[in-house]
């Protein structure tokens, strides 16, 4: 028996799938992003079809919490299989000076990629509209600790932007 209102899942998918994909892509690169996005939305579907499912107050926080669990499961699975997990790393510095670096988009993208994963993750949550308390719940932090982590991550992003010639305050 279906408990999901007709079209509700599709609506959520349209609204959040590309954001969730971008989150996974920023964690692992493109290879695992598709699988993890599918896993996330399969869990969303299953949860929504569970008897007694009550819609969350904020869908984005709920979906990103599921995405973080999927990411952790993915990391655990890879480690169990003895595989090296290739979290996204900053580009080879030998690329310095290449023409594409002149483009602001590339520079900004690199500034984000150059951050540690936990900084990147927290900024993506913030960008997707999650509140400090929601980020704290996902990461097991207090609301004020989450706020401090966001501020610190923003500062490091800011420094990375400046290093790449992008004015963060423009």
Partner 1 sequence: MNDVRFEELMSLALMERTPSAHQMERMKQNVLAQASFPPEKISQKFQHSFRTGIYAFR
Residue 108's CB is within 10 A of a number of other CB atoms, namely: 16
CB of 83 to partner 1, least distance (A): 22
CB of 25 to partner 1, least distance (A): 4
| Window of 27-35, 77-85, 93-101, 130-138 that interacts with partner 1 by CB under 8 A | 27-35
Q: Exposed, middle or buried by CB within 10 Å (0-12, 13-18, 19+), for 88?
A: middle
CA dist 46 and 18 (Å) reads 20
CB of 112 to partner 1, least distance (A): 4
Q: Return the residue of 61, 63, 66, 124 that touches partner 1, per CB under 8 A.
A: 124
In the stretch 7-26, what mask flags binding to partner 1 with x, by CB under 8 A?
Answer: ---x--x---xx--xx--xx
In the stretch 42-81, what mask flags binding to partner 1 with x, by CB under 8 A?
Answer: x--xx--x--------------------------------
């Amino acid at each position: 028996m279906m408990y999901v209102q007709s079209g509700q899942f599709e609506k959520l998918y349209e609204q959040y799938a590309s954001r969730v994909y971008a989150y996974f892509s920023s964690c692992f690169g493109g290879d695992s992003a598709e699988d993890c996005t599918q896993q996330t939305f399969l869990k969303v579907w299953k949860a929504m079809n569970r008897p007694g499912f009550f819609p969350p107050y904020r869908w984005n926080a709920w979906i990103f919490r599921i995405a973080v669990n999927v990411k952790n499961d993915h990391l655990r699975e890879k480690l169990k299989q003895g595989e090296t997990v290739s979290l996204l790393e900053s580009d080879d510095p030998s690329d310095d000076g290449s023409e594409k670096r002149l483009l602001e988009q590339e520079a900004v993208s690199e500034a984000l990629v150059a951050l540690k994963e936990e900084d990147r993750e927290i900024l993506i949550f913030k960008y997707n509209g999650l509140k400090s308390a929601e980020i704290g719940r996902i990461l097991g932090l207090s609301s004020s600790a989450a706020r401090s982590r966001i501020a610190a991550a923003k500062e490091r992003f800011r420094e990375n932007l400046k290093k790449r010639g992008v004015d963060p305050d423009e």
